[in-house]
Structure 1
Amino acid sequence: MKRTTNFKPHNVIRENRADGTILLRSAEPLSEVANTTGDWLHSWAQQTPDNIFIAERHGAGWRAESYAETLEKVRAIASSLLGRGMGPDTPILIMSGNGVDHGLLALAAQYVGIPTVPVAEQYSLIHGAHGRLRHAIELVRPRMAYVVDATQYSEALALDALVDIEVIATRADAKTTPFADLLKGDCADVDVARAKVGPDSVVKLLMTSGSTSSPKAVMTTQGMMCANQVQLSDAMPFLRARPPRIVDWLPWNHVFGGSHNFNMMLANGGSLYIDDGKPVKGLFERTVENLSLITGTLCFNVPVGFSMLLGALRKDAGLRQRFFEDLDMIFYAGASLPQDIWQGFEKMAVETKGEVPLITSSWGLTETAPAMMLQHEPTENSGVVGVPLNGVTAKLIPDGEMRCEVRVKGPNLMPGYFEAPEKTAEAFDDEGFFITGDAMRFVEPNDPSKGMKFDGRISEDFKLLTGTWVRAAQLRIDILAALSPLASDLVVTGADKSEIGVMIFPNATELEAEGFQLEEEAGAYRCPLLLGEVHRRLAAHAATGVSSSTRVARAIVLSEPASMPDGEMTAKGNLNFRKVLARRADLLKRLYAEADPAVTTL
């Protein structure tokens, strides 16, 4: 199978310490790093002024802003912000999702050193999630807030926590300031303020998911974001070979969409077309419509999104041709891409284009802006996160089973959490490495250049009553693959029990399509046919020779989706396993009871 030749081979150095700790780093130096994101904007506005930087759907086409137009509007907005007395200590809360005005405001604030705080739009639009919005407001104390539509966000804007804060809205009402007013500018000297902005300037406060504690605000600096983009383009030469283009829905309140993807376009003179669809029922059709208008040179998505996309491409030969025509990379994140989906894209790429683009993933965190490792040479298997990027050192602490706890250093690492010195101190070890809490293992122990595979969160592991350790994160991935597409997600159970169980969040669309007759009882589905299919697949998994640490013996299918207001789901769409188990303690008890009609056992 012919694979892309436009890649940078891995080149890493491994250092073995006497205590068993391993240091892993790139053998190549980091290329020159810009001081600020404003430097990128100026550079491309001069080199390619008419090229589109950012666009969103407008009627039958797109509202687009060129690099020259973006710079002009960014400077005008920055002037208006300065004229209001804003600066490094007056954050702007951004409550809406992705949009051109959101992007312009964020860049204008960065341009003159004003932090922005993008939060998940669900926190504003879902009544039960207002507590998380209030927590963010009380933590960062913003001077200004932005929403795209004052009427749509009116309930959230009525919160007491937002009293006396100026609210900017693209579609304003009598209580809010029109976004257009910011474009009028002010007499403030933008260049003087910009000259004070440098690599150490904090320009984003990104909220963590809060899966293990109350959400913290990660202080993200210009230097972190600028270094990370150079690290990525050092590893992926096609980013510099031609301006990249993406059609992307990933939310900007998350570091993947808002720092990784957004800045990748800005740093490399690329074009970001905002996809107002999502990989969920009722919205994915909009994604297909958007792709019918324009496709990217890069494609970013989560595994469920790629599964839906593969199905759409199989049905439409014209879309399939356009999709692969200029494609350099398929990049998945959030979870491991199922191998059948991976192979489906490989086969389709060869049939359509004659070669396979780079199919890859990386690893990083909100605290690292985000990428620390990247698989930047071709591989045949999903789940590999690669090797440290230039300038990054990974500290690997073996646990005795070829598995390592991962700690990291690098120029893209945060200085700390906002106004949380104790949490910051706890986050670093005595050598200054950030304690990620993640585990990995080498793809090939004797060849570090083959990269590493993510192996779960250390804190998610548990012991059975027998004393057997269960690596819950990897087991979850394996069982999800076995139950695909019936399960959308699941929680692995069994701490202090004699057997491993799973609590399954079903894929409602798939169950409906398959015609399962579902009967709900106290939070779980009673459906002999569905439970029988789950039993068959778990038995097939067990028949592959799994041990007691990977044999799932019990399963229950939950009838209620994960609740964001109750903290079961984070803004990133990830399950908070502790919250699920605590909130559904009665269902966990039923899972281990005898003869429950909603439980299947092996």
Structure 2
Amino acid sequence: MPNILTSLIGKQTLKYGERAAFSFKAEPQGKWIDTSWNEFSHKVDMAACSLEILGMEPEATVGVFSANRPEILITDFAAFANRVVPVSIYSTSSEEQVEYIVNDARINMLFVGNEEQYHIARKVQKRSRHIQQIVVYQNINLQPDDCRTMTFESFLKLGEAAGESCHEVVESRRSSATGSDLATLLYTSGTTGEPKGAMLTHDCFNAALDIHLERLPMLSDKYTSICFLPLSHIFEKAWTFFCLLKGMKVYINHDPRDIQNSIREVHPTCMCSVPRFWEKVYAAVQAKISRMNPLQKLLVKRALKVGARRNLDYVRLGRKVPAWLAAQYRFYDSKVFAPMRKVIGIEHGNIFPTAGAPLSANIVEFLHSCGINIVIGYGLSETTATVTCFPTVGYEIGTVGTVLPRIQVKLGADNEILVKGPTVMTGYFNKPEETANAFTEDGWFRTGDAGVIDDTGALILTERIKDLFKTSNGKYIAPQAIESRLGEDKYIEQVAVIGDQRKYVTAIIIPAFEALKEYARKKKIQYKSVYDLVNNSEIRRMIQERIDKLQNGFANYEKVKKFTLLPKEFSMETGELTNTLKIRRPVINRKYAHEIEAMYAQ
């Protein structure tokens, strides 16, 4: 099979021409501006020539460090044309994280989004022997001593002025591309906090796209999608590539904080997201229901009952809806569900793929009852996203769906989910030992997640075997890295980081009591017991300030937002520590459930 991504833009341009490929607005109050397939293709060709002119050879790596922008897609496809490897870096990454990825992936050219990312890139460039060129997507004032940075506009002009020989070189590279070529590196943190670059070949994407064409036949070029998750996230990256392959117009949302307004402006029919988005939708709807008068509440209650009966008992199972139930649903849909979907901005909704963390079965049932087709799935960076997802008919709520075509899943030791198939990565870049550990002897990828497979063949996630966890926003967190950093402080003895399936990261902290007592004496803080100390507002403020400083270098989503100080140490005797003095997370989560829930109370 030819590389789909290498030839995609050219083929779609011949088919769609002046039709909009994507739309974008740079400012919250601005207008959405369409870019046609013709213009998209022209910019990809210019960028591809620019990469060649600037010395990017096949297999070279270029970094993309930016929030969502159309330029990311132009850069990616220009790289594919040259057999160059784009490496995505989260726009919220810290200077230390960017530097690690730049050095590990040997990034020669770094594309950055805005002024903040430019300044980080410049600091990294001064310490790294790899970065030779920085390209800034946004027009900003460059540092006076900077002679190795250009704007994206200037970058494109290089390619626009290129001669025929440059185009011939690019075309030669494009035509010689193979499925075994490395398409991209996607870095995912390990339990030690050191990122690992998952190597995804073009064959991985060829298979993933082909599988989704088969699994999602309900989609066509009549639909639209909004790009909401970061394009550095495999879920959004693969989904956006799929949308372009289907000819679906993509609205590229720049600022995640503006997503609700964006949805109401563009009314997408599709959107991939993480559970946290739908949790917020559910909370907002429930809050509105709570403010209704008794008659309105009764109407909603009856509507939900009819919606569940129609959508879950009949439509979900592929059964014909009885005429009487269909009539009731049309009434309640017009009076309750359709207005609600319109307020959200999804009145024309088709499917809404959701993954990254578990979403409550109650919320899934509620959304489906309201006519919002949430498609729950499961996947990883290492598997080019989706491994399982809800089928069109027969999905089971409480599961993450059934296995996709040509993907194999089985359960290993401790019910670990093992995956094999053409979408699985070839390994971790520059990490042979980690690669070996990631696979069984007979070639199955170890996900680190545990689960069970029910009678229908659907996968149910039960727990994470590895300590690495995700927040409800789909961000990976390596707790040991945070715990080790905080443990460096003289006032902190032990730390247990919390955050799996939560909105943000918190911590249970055991202070170094003698150091704390000394601090209290110096500050003339009165106390009778250790309990008084851990509840003293001045001491809590001091600990907070020290935590803030200690977390410099971590990305914002990794930082501890709230903490609880306990008056007694973790111990082996109470089961909180192992014999090797490692913390037992399940015990701590269970024993301090009240304190943990208090840190997430609104």
The TM tier, using the shorter chain, reads: 0.5 to 0.7
1:251 aligns with 2:230: yes
The aligned counterpart of 1:158 is: 123
SS of structure 2 residue aligned to 1:153: helix
The aligned counterpart of 2:216 is: 236
C-alpha spacing 1:130/1:393, structure 2 compared with 1 (3 Å): same
**Matching residue within 69, 73, 76 for 1:103:** 73
The aligned counterpart of 1:547 is: none
The aligned counterpart of 1:183 is: 156
Question: Using the alignment, how far apart are the partners of 1:100 and 1:198 within structure 2?
Answer: 26
Conserved in 2, the CA contact under 8 Å of 1:524 and 1:560?
no
C-alpha spacing 1:568/1:68, structure 2 compared with 1 (3 Å): same
1:287 aligns with 2:262: no
1:221 aligns with 2:187: no
The aligned counterpart of 2:275 is: 303
Letter matched to residue 196 of structure 1: S
SS of structure 1 residue aligned to 2:400: strand
1:274 aligns with 2:252: yes
1:106-505 alignment, distance < 5 Å: 106-123=76-93, 129-150=94-115, 153-159=118-124, 160-162=126-128, 165-170=132-137, 171-172=139-140, 173=142, 175=146, 176-184=149-157, 185=159, 186-187=162-163, 188=166, 189=168, 190-239=170-219, 241-258=220-237, 260-278=238-256, 283=257, 286-310=258-282, 317=339, 320=342, 323-349=345-371, 357=373, 359-378=374-393, 382-397=397-412, 399=414, 404-444=415-455, 447-448=456-457, 451-460=458-467
SS of structure 2 residue aligned to 1:273: strand
Letter matched to residue 102 of structure 2: I
Deviations 1:165-185 (A, max 9, x none): 211112142632121122221
Conserved in 2, the CA contact under 8 Å of 1:34 and 1:227?
no
Question: Using the alignment, how far apart are the partners of 2:410 and 2:56 within structure 1?
Answer: 40
SS of structure 1 residue aligned to 2:435: helix
Unmatched 5+ stretches in structure 2: 289-337, 480-495, 505-530, 538-542, 577-590, 598-602
C-alpha spacing 1:242/1:430, structure 2 compared with 1 (3 Å): same
Conserved in 2, the CA contact under 8 Å of 1:337 and 1:382?
no
Question: Using the alignment, how far apart are the partners of 1:201 and 1:360 within structure 2?
Answer: 31
Conserved in 1, the CA contact under 8 Å of 2:112 and 2:118?
yes
Question: Using the alignment, how far apart are the partners of 1:443 and 1:48 within structure 2?
Answer: 44
Conserved in 1, the CA contact under 8 Å of 2:2 and 2:178?
no
Q: Which moved more, 1:111-120 or 1:379-388?
A: 379-388
Conserved in 2, the CA contact under 8 Å of 1:562 and 1:569?
no
Question: What displacement does 1:276 show?
Answer: 2.9
Question: What displacement does 1:333 show?
Answer: 1.4
Question: Using the alignment, how far apart are the partners of 2:270 and 2:549 within structure 1?
Answer: 31
SS of structure 1 residue aligned to 2:426: coil
C-alpha spacing 1:158/1:343, structure 2 compared with 1 (3 Å): same
C-alpha spacing 1:457/1:121, structure 2 compared with 1 (3 Å): same
Deviations 1:336-381 (A, max 9, x none): 21233223323332xxxxxx53x22222211111112222234676
The aligned counterpart of 1:75 is: 45
Conserved in 1, the CA contact under 8 Å of 2:65 and 2:117?
no
Conserved in 1, the CA contact under 8 Å of 2:25 and 2:254?
yes
1:3-22 alignment, distance < 5 Å: none
Conserved in 2, the CA contact under 8 Å of 1:298 and 1:327?
yes
C-alpha spacing 1:366/1:590, structure 2 compared with 1 (3 Å): same
Conserved in 1, the CA contact under 8 Å of 2:24 and 2:253?
yes
The aligned counterpart of 1:11 is: none
Provide TM-score, normalisation by structure 2. Answer: 0.67
C-alpha spacing 1:219/1:110, structure 2 compared with 1 (3 Å): same
Question: What displacement does 1:263 show?
Answer: 1.1
Question: What displacement does 1:490 show?
Answer: 14
SS of structure 2 residue aligned to 1:385: coil
Q: Which moved more, 1:58-67 or 1:197-206?
A: 58-67
Conserved in 2, the CA contact under 8 Å of 1:244 and 1:265?
no
Question: What displacement does 1:47 show?
Answer: 1.2
1:33-112 alignment, distance < 5 Å: 34-59=2-27, 60-112=30-82
C-alpha spacing 1:394/1:309, structure 2 compared with 1 (3 Å): same
Conserved in 2, the CA contact under 8 Å of 1:208 and 1:366?
yes
SS of structure 2 residue aligned to 1:87: coil
C-alpha spacing 1:588/1:63, structure 2 compared with 1 (3 Å): farther
Question: What displacement does 1:334 show?
Answer: 1.8
Conserved in 1, the CA contact under 8 Å of 2:193 and 2:478?
no
Question: What displacement does 1:67 show?
Answer: 1.6
Conserved in 2, the CA contact under 8 Å of 1:116 and 1:205?
yes
Question: Using the alignment, how far apart are the partners of 1:216 and 1:586 within structure 2?
Answer: 35
Conserved in 1, the CA contact under 8 Å of 2:467 and 2:478?
no
Question: What displacement does 1:311 show?
Answer: 5.2
Provide TM-score, normalisation by structure 1. Answer: 0.67
Question: Using the alignment, how far apart are the partners of 1:590 and 1:378 within structure 2?
Answer: 49
Question: What displacement does 1:209 show?
Answer: 2.2
Question: Using the alignment, how far apart are the partners of 1:118 and 1:94 within structure 2?
Answer: 5
Letter matched to residue 49 of structure 2: S
Conserved in 1, the CA contact under 8 Å of 2:17 and 2:38?
yes
SS of structure 2 residue aligned to 1:230: helix
SS of structure 1 residue aligned to 2:113: strand
SS of structure 2 residue aligned to 1:64: strand
Question: Using the alignment, how far apart are the partners of 1:91 and 1:45 within structure 2?
Answer: 26
Question: Using the alignment, how far apart are the partners of 1:375 and 1:588 within structure 2?
Answer: 46
Question: Using the alignment, how far apart are the partners of 2:73 and 2:568 within structure 1?
Answer: 44
Conserved in 1, the CA contact under 8 Å of 2:25 and 2:32?
yes
Question: Using the alignment, how far apart are the partners of 2:440 and 2:211 within structure 1?
Answer: 24
Conserved in 2, the CA contact under 8 Å of 1:395 and 1:407?
yes
Letter matched to residue 161 of structure 1: R
C-alpha spacing 1:106/1:380, structure 2 compared with 1 (3 Å): closer
Question: What displacement does 1:158 show?
Answer: 2.3
Conserved in 1, the CA contact under 8 Å of 2:13 and 2:37?
yes
Letter matched to residue 231 of structure 1: I
SS of structure 1 residue aligned to 2:18: coil
Unmatched 5+ stretches in structure 1: 1-32, 124-128, 350-355, 462-472, 481-488, 492-500, 509-519, 527-557
Conserved in 2, the CA contact under 8 Å of 1:292 and 1:319?
no
C-alpha spacing 1:393/1:599, structure 2 compared with 1 (3 Å): closer
RMSD of equivalent CA atoms: 4.1
Deviations 1:296-320 (A, max 9, x none): 1212222221122345578694862
Conserved in 1, the CA contact under 8 Å of 2:189 and 2:478?
no
Per residue, is there more helix in 1 or in 2?
2
**Identity percentage of aligned residues:** 22
The aligned counterpart of 1:512 is: none
C-alpha spacing 1:270/1:600, structure 2 compared with 1 (3 Å): closer
Conserved in 2, the CA contact under 8 Å of 1:291 and 1:319?
no
C-alpha spacing 1:490/1:421, structure 2 compared with 1 (3 Å): closer
Q: Which moved more, 1:316-325 or 1:144-153?
A: 316-325
Letter matched to residue 420 of structure 1: K
Deviations 1:464-513 (A, max 9, x none): xxxxxxxxx8xx99xx9xxxxxxxx999xxxxxxxxx99579979xxxxx
Question: Using the alignment, how far apart are the partners of 2:68 and 2:533 within structure 1?
Answer: 38
Question: Using the alignment, how far apart are the partners of 2:47 and 2:55 within structure 1?
Answer: 13
